[in-house]
Homo-oligomer: A and B are copies of this chain.
Amino acid sequence: MSAEKQFVPPFASGAGALSGASAHRRTVLIAGGAGFIGSNLARRLLAQGDRVICIDNLETGRSANIEGLIPNPDFAFFLHDIVEPFTVKGPVDRIYNLACPASPPKYQRDPVHTLKTSFIGGLNLLSIAEKKHARILQSSTSEVYGDPDISPQPESYRGLVNTVGPRACYDEGKRATETLFYESHRQSHVDVRIARIFNTYGPRMDPEDGRVVSNFVVQALTGQPLTIYGDGTQTRSFCYIEDMLDGLTALMEADEVEPTIFDPVNLGNPHEFTMLELADLVQDLTGAKVKRDFHPLPKDDPLQRRPDITRAKTILGWEPKVPLHDGLIPTIEYFRDEIEMAQQKIGGVA
């Protein structure tokens, strides 16, 4: 048996339950809670009165994303890698598994660990869900579709993934973990939800994330040429973080009246942009007059990726509302602040 760490959130004592106001407060565990989506989700849940336990190994999650939350008595952070078994003291009502490096340069750094994060991390969280009778949401990904030959991709599309390619550690880890969640529901009646998350952007993205929105914005703000892979006509869809949080929480809280609620649900913005269109928009909004550097397309880079969100619309009544233009404004503001802070730090040291 592995020595299982136990984490004790300050609010686990049950003291809170004594006051009438907090009698019905929920405890939500967010694995990957210091990441881009996780840290935004933590803020939203805290704002609506939930208690939040954040588990993160800070491999790609950033302490800057949660520093502001540490003083909050309803927030508890534990530095832990979900590949190692753990428990938490006290009740847990919901578990969001958002713990896995999600951008190619990051998940390719230690591919075996990426696979383990998805699969063994998923197993460890499912074990907590089972013990605590918590509902658990797995963040899957549009990458389960690989380099798709149909567009948009509905959930029934089986994908075109290379099992021995540079993206496989992420794609196949996420695919097998979908199966693990699906079977944990069928076999042990764990109340699971599976979200296939498409490209998402917004404040608290990692400026060094390596994906296109952060790349373009940071390059534009620092006066560097925009890096474009291929000829820039490949498309992506971009979902603003607030829309994504609406979708994730709607899926998590959806009742089981819909019998297929346990099956994967696409969450993303179906509005497609080419890389060149995104580059134009970023340059317009930042006012940056920079060149464009064209590089060869990386191996197994998908040429298109666009969600069919009919299922989310039908069973959750959800669809994204924020146009790319409107979402880019606060995103650019966030990156501007990040870059200024970084420059001040360098200035302070020099």
Residue interface bits A39-65, CB-to-B below 8 A is 1, else 0: 000000000000000000000000000
The bracket for how many chain A residues form the interface is 35 or more
A184 in the interface (beta carbon within 8 A): yes
Q: Which of A179, A188, A194 has the most CB of B within 10 A?
A: A179
A187 in the interface (beta carbon within 8 A): yes
A178 in the interface (beta carbon within 8 A): yes
Is the beta-carbon distance between B183 and A163 smaller than 8 angstroms?
no
Report B-chain residues with C-beta under 8 Å of the C-beta of A263: 164
Point out the residue from B162, B180, B264 that lies within 8 Å of A112, measured CB to CB.
Answer: B180
A80 in the interface (beta carbon within 8 A): no
Is the beta-carbon distance between B158 and A179 smaller than 8 angstroms?
no
Report B-chain residues with C-beta under 8 Å of the C-beta of A172: 172, 175-176, 178-179
Is the beta-carbon distance between B1 and A180 smaller than 8 angstroms?
no
Q: Which of A218-269 contact B (CB under 8 A)?
A: 263-264
Q: How many copies does the complex hold?
A: 2
Is the beta-carbon distance between A182 and B164 smaller than 8 angstroms?
yes
Report B-chain residues with C-beta under 8 Å of the C-beta of A159: 158, 161
Is the beta-carbon distance between A183 and B115 smaller than 8 angstroms?
yes
Point out the residue from B111, B158, B264 that lies within 8 Å of A187, measured CB to CB.
Answer: B111
A168 in the interface (beta carbon within 8 A): yes
A188 → B minimal CB distance (Å): 8
Q: Within the assembled complex, what's the spacing in Å between the Cα atoms of A195 and B208?
A: 38
A160 in the interface (beta carbon within 8 A): yes
Q: Name 29 interchain pairs, CB-CB below 8 A, sorted by A.
A: A1-B2, A1-B3, A2-B2, A110-B187, A111-B183, A112-B180, A112-B183, A112-B187, A112-B188, A115-B119, A115-B179, A115-B180, A116-B123, A119-B119, A120-B120, A158-B159, A158-B161, A163-B175, A163-B178, A163-B179, A164-B182, A164-B263, A168-B179, A169-B183, A172-B172, A172-B178, A172-B179, A173-B179, A176-B176
Q: Which of A111, A119, A159 has the most CB of B within 10 A?
A: A119
Q: Within the assembled complex, what's the spacing in Å between the Cα atoms of A164 and B187?
A: 13
- Closest chain B residue to A85, Cβ basis: B2
Q: Within the assembled complex, what's the spacing in Å between the Cα atoms of A172 and B180?
A: 9
Is the beta-carbon distance between A175 and B178 smaller than 8 angstroms?
no
Q: A115-B180, A180-B112 in contact; A144/B163 too (CB < 8 A)?
A: yes
Report B-chain residues with C-beta under 8 Å of the C-beta of A178: 163-164, 172
Q: Within the assembled complex, what's the spacing in Å between the Cα atoms of A169 and B173?
A: 13
